[in-house]
Structure 1
Amino acid sequence: MSCTSCGTETGGKPNGCKSNGGCSTGGCNRMNVHDWLTNLPLSDEDSMCRVIEVSFNHGSRKDFYRNSTVHLFEKGDLVTVEGVSGFDTGEVSLSGELVRLQLKKKGVEENNPEIKRILRRAGDRDLELMKQNKAREPQALTRARSIARQLKLEMKLAEVEFQADGRKATFFYTADGRVDFRELIKIYASEFKVKVEMKQIGARQEAAKVGGIGSCGRELCCSTWLTSFKSVTTIAARYQNLSINQTKLSGQCGRLKCCLNYELDTYLDALQGFPDNADILETAKGNALLIKKDIFRNLMWYILPDSNKQYPLSIVTVRKIKEMNAKGVKPEALETEELVSSKPKEVEPDFVDVVGQISLRSLEKNDKRRKFKQREQRDQQDRNRGNAKSAPRPPQQQNQPRPTIRKDRDKGKTN
């Protein structure tokens, strides 16, 4: 996923969105963050955090590095850090006091000696070498998949990431079980001439690396901001009264959507006000079974045996019936609540059935009438201009009566 309004220059910064090295949409730099403490004044420079968070491969991987140089790095700066038997080049994603909060969140000690160091600010030679090795990744991924297929290994390669100096390659793969890739590592090392590291990831991590658009119309949460993947079960869907449809509840990774857990706590808090052990209500017509709970209206829907009608009952009504059942009393009927919709009532327009009233003949008549009126209008305009086609009669002839033919009934003659 990439932002259509910006492009990456040789320096590695987008030139369109003007966000100083990080696109706000998350497409140019996944897992992008904003340093809210960047303008915080420091009282003591010696006590400032010397650890910097660096992202690699457009934000798909992040790590902490100690700034042992005299330079002050800000977000978006390209730096060269210590790698495996060489160096690697990444982008500063976070610096300053906010890094201490991230270290505490990740459970990493600030004075941990195992934290690698930042070597220098990335130069032209480092960037050119990184660009050459990154160009090898698509071809290496295709070749690595074909080799794994030839060895008949039950695994799927998701991504290949080369170190900036080209001395190490990390192969990310997904598998349902354990995979014996000892022979595979030997072939990869001889094929690509690099140090090979195999790292197994889950289906959600694979979807985060691939990226995409979810059914909500936004970028996938796992590829933009979500870092901790908690387990999601169908119980979360049942609490929210969602239909158990595996197709609609599954994400692009094939697992249940992570967003099912977002509002689960709110639903659980709302369900605490509903009575417990109210799945069955005893009535004179039989046992009413609970089919769903509506937390927005505080209603509980029941259905009677041998009937398809649903009865919405309020929480107060259900508690009264439970108290009656505890005393051995069964109500004759269920007092349902009147459902009032908050939506405005739509006014249906009045339609007229005109089937059979329009025919070709009626259309032809209307066409003729229209043409006749147009011709009359043209004639009237010509008369007003004095260009009438027929001249008027002389005035002496206008008052003279016209000759008539009269029949004499008695004589049978015509005068």
Structure 2
Amino acid sequence: MSYIKAKFQDTNKVLQVEGVWERDVSRGELLVVQSEKGEEVVKVLGTSKEPSSYKAIFLRKAKREDIQRMEENEEKAKEAMEVCKKKIIEHGLDMKLIKTYIPLDKSKIFFYYTSDHRVDFRNLVKDLAKVFKKRIEMRQVGVRDAVQMLGWVGACGDMPCCIRFQEEFQSVSLRDIEEQNLPLSPQKFTGPCGRLMCCLVFERENYLIKSILPEAGSELCYQGKVYKVLQVDPLRWKISLASEDSKREIDLQSILPEGYDRALKHCQACGGCCKKALVENEALAGVEQ
């Protein structure tokens, strides 16, 4: 089964469009959908075998008047943003407004903001409702969501993955850096959002073989001799060993037990549950970024 994927105009998040056949829409086409925010214009990305967390109901293909109304709403949203910024200062609120959005049906005005703590914006909402005569909805987003919404340039020189194709944010920790034999310098692997780069997650499967091999620093017996494991390099399919009088590098295949591929498939399916507790403990200790 294939799902039609599109992208929201306000958050750049990927959604699943329901109620329309794949053959009736094409990539890059604009559609009008009904979401929990109201009527919105979304852009078709294509199809996927994986479902999305966000869903919307297809209403119609965007007409010229829909696109014109969307553009008018974008201009009004910019004006509303300036008004809201002034009101935030007047109320002395510790929050950073990052985006204002008015859906196609103009039923509400959405104000997206970031803050390090919970903000009491009740009086702000009352003031904004008096000015715009519409329902006001304030939405606090995280720093990763903010980058996804506003756009940025990553360390690779391209747009971050969260803007180009990523659908869900996954937890990234120092464990990912360690597993991939990278230097434990979080600053080198920090994205524009100030968190560890999401692309570290995409490499996990390449290093999954380490989950069934001895860890660095442990000992193993190979060809009748005891060696200390220096490093496992899954990309080169090598393991570095050291004894009292020598060092050597051998193929992983030569030490892996028979049927290891079945164990590896299990690790892939469970998502590394054997290491889950360790990652959670690191997160509680403030290691998770």
Shift of 1:57: 1.3
1:199-238 residue pairs with structure 2 within 5 A?
Answer: 199-238=139-178
In the other structure, the counterpart of 1:78 is 30
2:68 maps to 1:128? yes
1:94-173 residue pairs with structure 2 within 5 A?
Answer: 94=46, 98=47, 101-103=49-51, 106=53, 116=57, 118=59, 120-173=60-113
2:192 maps to 1:192? no
Shift of 1:58: 7.5
Quickly say closer, same or farther: Cα 1:248–1:200, change in 2 above 3 A. Answer: same
Unaligned runs of 5+ in 2: 220-227, 250-289
What's the % identity of the aligned pairs? 26
Shift of 1:102: 4.5
Which of the residues 337, 361, 372 maps onto 2:247? Answer: 337
In the other structure, the counterpart of 2:182 is 242
The answer (yes or no) to whether the contact 1:130–1:165 under 8 Å persists in 2 is no
2:239 maps to 1:298? yes
- Structure 1 length normalisation: TM-score? 0.48
2:24 maps to 1:90? no
Deviations 1:30-50 (A, max 9, x none): xxxxxx97xxxxxxxxxxxxx
Looking at both structures, which has the greater relative contact order when contacts are Cα pairs under 8 Å and sequence separation is at least 6? Answer: 2
In the other structure, the counterpart of 1:323 is none
Q: Distance in 2 between matches of 1:242 and 1:130?
A: 46
Quickly say closer, same or farther: Cα 1:256–1:223, change in 2 above 3 A. Answer: same
Q: Distance in 1 between matches of 2:207 and 2:181?
A: 10
The answer (yes or no) to whether the contact 1:84–1:168 under 8 Å persists in 2 is no
Which of the residues 1, 4, 8 maps onto 1:56? Answer: 8
- AA paired with 1:336? S
In the other structure, the counterpart of 1:8 is none
Q: Distance in 2 between matches of 1:240 and 1:85?
A: 41
Q: Distance in 2 between matches of 1:68 and 1:241?
A: 46
Q: Distance in 1 between matches of 2:73 and 2:91?
A: 26
- AA paired with 2:91? L
Greater per-residue helix proportion: 2
Shift of 1:187: 1.7
The answer (yes or no) to whether the contact 1:213–1:220 under 8 Å persists in 2 is yes
Q: What SS class does the counterpart of residue 222 from structure 1 fall into?
A: helix
Shift of 1:134: 0.9
Q: What SS class does the counterpart of residue 242 from structure 1 fall into?
A: coil
In the other structure, the counterpart of 1:258 is 198
Q: What SS class does the counterpart of residue 158 from structure 1 fall into?
A: strand
Quickly say closer, same or farther: Cα 1:276–1:87, change in 2 above 3 A. Answer: closer
1:390-405 residue pairs with structure 2 within 5 A?
Answer: none
In the other structure, the counterpart of 2:274 is none
Q: Distance in 2 between matches of 1:230 and 1:194?
A: 35
Quickly say closer, same or farther: Cα 1:164–1:146, change in 2 above 3 A. Answer: same
Shift of 1:251: 0.8
Shift of 1:90: 3.4
Q: What SS class does the counterpart of residue 135 from structure 1 fall into?
A: helix
Unaligned runs of 5+ in 1: 1-35, 38-50, 109-114, 280-289, 301-312, 318-333, 340-415
The answer (yes or no) to whether the contact 1:78–1:122 under 8 Å persists in 2 is yes
- AA paired with 2:247? E
Greater radius of gyration (CA): 1
Shift of 1:278: 2.4
Deviations 1:135-162 (A, max 9, x none): 2233332332332233222322221111
Q: What SS class does the counterpart of residue 298 from structure 1 fall into?
A: strand
The answer (yes or no) to whether the contact 2:216–2:232 under 8 Å persists in 1 is no
Q: What SS class does the counterpart of residue 245 from structure 2 fall into?
A: coil
Q: What SS class does the counterpart of residue 73 from structure 2 fall into?
A: helix
Q: What SS class does the counterpart of residue 261 from structure 1 fall into?
A: helix
CA RMSD of aligned residues (A): 3.7
Quickly say closer, same or farther: Cα 1:167–1:249, change in 2 above 3 A. Answer: same
The answer (yes or no) to whether the contact 1:204–1:253 under 8 Å persists in 2 is yes
- How many positions carry a matched residue from both structures? 237
Shift of 1:220: 0.5
